[in-house]
Amino acid sequence: MRSLFLLLFVFVSYGYADAQNFVSTTEKNKNVVLEEFTGIYCGFCPQGHKIASDYKAANPNDVVVVNIHHGGYAAPSGGDPDFRTSFGGAIDGQANVQGYPAGTVNRRNFPGYEQTNSQGNPVSGITAMGRSNWVSRGNVVLAEASPVNVAAQANLNLQSRELEVIVETYFTAAGGTAPYKLNVALLQNGIEGPQSGSSGNSGSVLPNGNYLHGHMLRHFLTGQWGADITSTTSGYFQADTFRYTIPAAIGNGGAPAIPADLFNMEVAVYVAEGQQTIITGNMASMNLVTPPGVFTASTKLTSSATSGSSFCDYNYIPSVVVENNSTSNADIDSFMVSYSINGGTAVDQLVTTTLVGGTSTTVTFPSATLSTGISTIDYSIDFDSYNNNTLIDISTESEVNIQDGPYTKLLAPAASLPFAYGFQTLYPSTVAIHNPDDKLVYPVSSSKAGFGGSGSIGGFGNSNYSFAFDFWATAFNSGSASLLFGTFDMSDLTKDYTLEFNHAYAQYNTSNDQLQVLVSTDCGVTWDAPVWDQSGSVLATTAPFTNGQQRFVPTSTQWDSNSVDLTAAYKGESSVTIAFKGFSDYGNPAYIDDINILAAAPVTTGIKATKTAIAAVNIMPTPVHNEMTVEFNLPESAEVNMTIYNTLGQQVQNVTTGTFEGTNTVQVNTSKLASGIYLLNLASDKGLVTKRFTVEK
């Protein structure tokens, strides 16, 4: 990896003379500088990105777009990248941004077009605007004459990574009296990362679900508010040269630094009155430079690794295909391929056979062993250090640094029961997420961004953590993600086995998000039909949300308890894996908590349990007043005893006992129940289902 940090300012100022060579001396109209404030968990930010990009595409020589990541929606979570910079906060604060996405056009206030506050009222005097106003206000700027022209040429040395930016400014008319500042911004395109949905910009979504961010601010070569322009008199010319060695990665502290891809860099320059109003701007021409006798070469890695098919097979054979995509004079005589598991110690293999341009070879390592939990394997290649420095690697970051996995592995041999887990600690060896498509599923707390600011988010408000299938933040695009538990030993024939868990969910409009519970006896190679399956209004534990309401975060009264009998189908099995599987319809998050897998002596009732049970229990309306409708489904005929309990566990009403089959509807008179929270129990020889409901008088 190349190291640095060097930042040099070289200023040369003089009156206009024959030395001027590329900035126009003819009066021109102003160009637009659109500073867009954005994030990675911002539902409408992709729409803002498209508006800005389309505007620039329609005015390629007159519009400059600078994307600035700041605010809560830009804050990284877990292993997220941190796209923020040390410059963004001050610019965001100057604009007085009220929400995201927001944008300023030349950092100007346009009365009547200001962004609205949380009450929906425009904030007079601010420069931040909602995305619907960017183009119309930009067109106003494009129609105005500019007293100054600015142009720039950038030269980027691919070997030293030094960026030289030559900027020329020329005043065709006298400028204002305020100090004028020259700003030089380093931007980067094609940065892969998370984003909430696509919001009308699906073209920026990659096949793996990640998002391609563009025009992203990485650095100001001129500091926070720019470098001085000495004079603003008519006919004044100034030439400035700035040099900056671009690091291999640009970071903001904490999260991993963002790789600086030299082939996706661009430079924007603009002239401003002090810190505030931008007069005009421009994009620099970019020249990529290689020293004499040095050639460019490009490689690409593709994983050819293999791993065991089950969640209990830890064997892994590291392997990659190396392609030399170079043309003439770029044969690679030797190269180093490396891999590491979960960021651990790298394993290297030096290949000394010449790889001719346009050919490929496979590099295989000795077999390795993965551990329980989630494993990702990072591969990289380095060839420019092994070819007498005659080759410069022009490969993109995604071509030479790839990741294989994730691979999910569970405990084997099977653990004994009972088992209890409430997400208050890191995953034990019997718990793992299977998330090959990188969906938004994770443990959450009230302090996690977007999940409420205070209170307990655990089941029934009894703890600080639960687990969320975050269907609200992004659609799963026909994919799914699973939370796995196992493997567990249920071979003791003297025990009965039960899965208990709590869940909370609110529909968003008519969204049909779905949760299933599945069981496997071969460590996930195959799965049986769901033993619990609910979606949409049936999955819901509270009233639905409507347009405009924010992400559902459950209160202590918005949870349901569930019990699934596993005895008949899985007693006698020595290796049982249980999966909670989520399918998104881009609705609200579904939460689960308090997972208990019980092994207890059978209760002598003369009733034999079977694999099927009461399912799809729904109570309407929510909340209940004097009467409620109970809907439930039984795959086969069974006697059902329906009773109501209070939260102290006391039976307060016996509803009905009868034989039911298929889809059933029962009207229940609740007029004698006081306001409060109650539990509806549906007991049968197929198991027990509990549904929580609220009575309001």
Q: Say which CATH number the domain at 553 has.
A: 2.60.120.200
| 330 in the same domain as 282 | no
Contact 41, 196 (CB under 8 A): yes
Provide CB contacts within 8 A for 602, sequence distance 6+: 494, 495, 496, 567
| 448 in the same domain as 308 | no
* pLDDT of res. 199: 65
The CA-based angle 599-601-605, given to 5 degrees, is: 120
Alpha-carbon distance of 102 to 38, in angstroms, equals 7
Alpha-carbon distance of 548 to 35, in angstroms, equals 26
Residue-wise pLDDT for 360-375, tens only, equals 999 999 999 999 888 9
Residue 500 lies in a domain: yes
Peptide linkage before 487 cis (omega within 30 of 0): yes
| 313 in the same domain as 208 | no
Read off the tokens for 500.
């208990």
Indicate if the pLDDT at residue 325 is higher than 50: yes
CATH number for position 181: 2.60.40.10
Alpha-carbon distance of 86 to 250, in angstroms, equals 11
Range of the domain at 538: 410-611
Indicate if the pLDDT at residue 604 is higher than 80: no
Secondary structure (3-state) at 263: helix
Directed axis angle between helix 134-142 and helix 45-58, to 10°?
A: 30
Residue-wise pLDDT for 639-680, tens only, equals 888 888 775 556 788 898 888 888 899 999 999 999 887 778
**What sign for the dihedral angle of Cα 474, 475, 476, 477?**
negative
Indicate if the pLDDT at residue 67 is higher than 50: yes
Residue corresponding to tokens 């990529």: 288
CA–CA distance from 405 to each of 182, 257, 572 (Å)? 46, 21, 33
| 686 in the same domain as 550 | no
Provide CB contacts within 8 A for 125, sequence distance 6+: 109, 114
Strand pairing of 419-421 and 590-600?
A: antiparallel
Residue 2 lies in a domain: no
A 10 A CB-CB count for 32 gives: 25
Find how far residue 671's CA is from the centre of its chain.
Answer: 47
* pLDDT of res. 263: 85
Domain-terminating residue out of 611, 626, 648 = 611
| 165 in the same domain as 132 | yes
Contact 221, 184 (CB under 8 A): yes
Indicate if the pLDDT at residue 20 is higher than 60: no
CATH number for position 640: 2.60.40.2550
Residue 179 lies in a domain: yes
Indicate if the pLDDT at residue 686 is higher than 80: no
State the average pLDDT over residues 448-475. Answer: 79
Read off the tokens for 86.
């040390």
DSSP secondary structure of 119-163:
TS-B-TT---B-GGGHHHHHHHHHTSB-SEEEEEEEEEETTT-EE
Least confident segment among 81-90, 241-250, 254-263: 254-263
| 627 in the same domain as 510 | no
* pLDDT of res. 386: 80
State the average pLDDT over residues 279-298. Answer: 87
Residue-wise pLDDT for 617-631, tens only, equals 788 898 899 999 998
State the average pLDDT over residues 272-292. Answer: 92
- Between 548 and 144, name the one with better pLDDT: 144
* pLDDT of res. 643: 86
Name, of 172-186, 293-307, 442-456, the range with top average pLDDT: 172-186
Indicate if the pLDDT at residue 72 is higher than 60: yes
- Between 244 and 372, name the one with better pLDDT: 244
| 416 in the same domain as 399 | no
- Mean confidence (pLDDT) of the chain: 87
389-423 burial: b if 16+ Cβ within 10 Å, else e: eebbbbbbbebbebebbbbbbbbbebbebebebbb
Domain count, the chain: 4
- Between 657 and 126, name the one with better pLDDT: 126
Alpha-carbon distance of 257 to 219, in angstroms, equals 13
Nearest CA-CA partner of 167 in 148, 186, 183: 183
Provide CB contacts within 8 A for 461, sequence distance 6+: 455, 555, 556
| 683 in the same domain as 587 | no
| 659 in the same domain as 582 | no
Domain-terminating residue out of 261, 289, 317 = 289
pTM of the full predicted structure?
Answer: 0.56
Nearest CA-CA partner of 319 in 381, 260, 283, 366: 366
Residue 376 lies in a domain: yes
Indicate if the pLDDT at residue 406 is higher than 50: yes
Least confident segment among 88-97, 158-167, 253-262, 333-342: 253-262
Tally the residues of the chain: 697
Indicate if the pLDDT at residue 170 is higher than 70: yes
Residue 255 lies in a domain: yes
Residue 391 lies in a domain: yes
The type of residue at 541 is T
Alpha-carbon distance of 604 to 592, in angstroms, equals 31
Residue corresponding to tokens 């596993």: 566
Alpha-carbon distance of 112 to 118, in angstroms, equals 17
Residue 1 lies in a domain: no
| 174 in the same domain as 87 | yes
Residue-wise pLDDT for 177-233, tens only, equals 889 999 999 999 999 988 876 667 878 877 667 889 999 999 999 999 999 999 999
| 422 in the same domain as 458 | yes
Name, of 272-281, 381-390, 579-588, the range with top average pLDDT: 272-281
Residue 197 lies in a domain: yes
Residue corresponding to tokens 């694999």: 611
Alpha-carbon distance of 188 to 213, in angstroms, equals 9
- Between 569 and 277, name the one with better pLDDT: 277
DSSP letter assigned to residue 202: G
State the average pLDDT over residues 476-484. Answer: 75
Indicate if the pLDDT at residue 454 is higher than 70: no
In the chain, pLDDT over 70 holds for what percent of residues? 90
Nearest CA-CA partner of 597 in 473, 449, 431: 431
State the average pLDDT over residues 19-39. Answer: 91
* pLDDT of res. 158: 84
* pLDDT of res. 676: 82
Domain-terminating residue out of 267, 289, 311 = 289
- Between 102 and 398, name the one with better pLDDT: 102
| 366 in the same domain as 325 | yes
Peptide linkage before 623 cis (omega within 30 of 0): yes
* pLDDT of res. 634: 82
State the average pLDDT over residues 532-555. Answer: 90
188-213 burial: b if 16+ Cβ within 10 Å, else e: beebbbbbbbbbebeebbeeebebbb
Written in H, E and C, the secondary structure of 583-626 is ECCCCCCEEEEEEEEEEECCCCCCCCCCCCCCEEEEEECCCECC
Residue corresponding to tokens 């059902």: 640
Alpha-carbon distance of 67 to 258, in angstroms, equals 15
- Between 546 and 180, name the one with better pLDDT: 180
Least confident segment among 11-20, 142-151, 230-239: 11-20
Secondary structure (3-state) at 650: coil
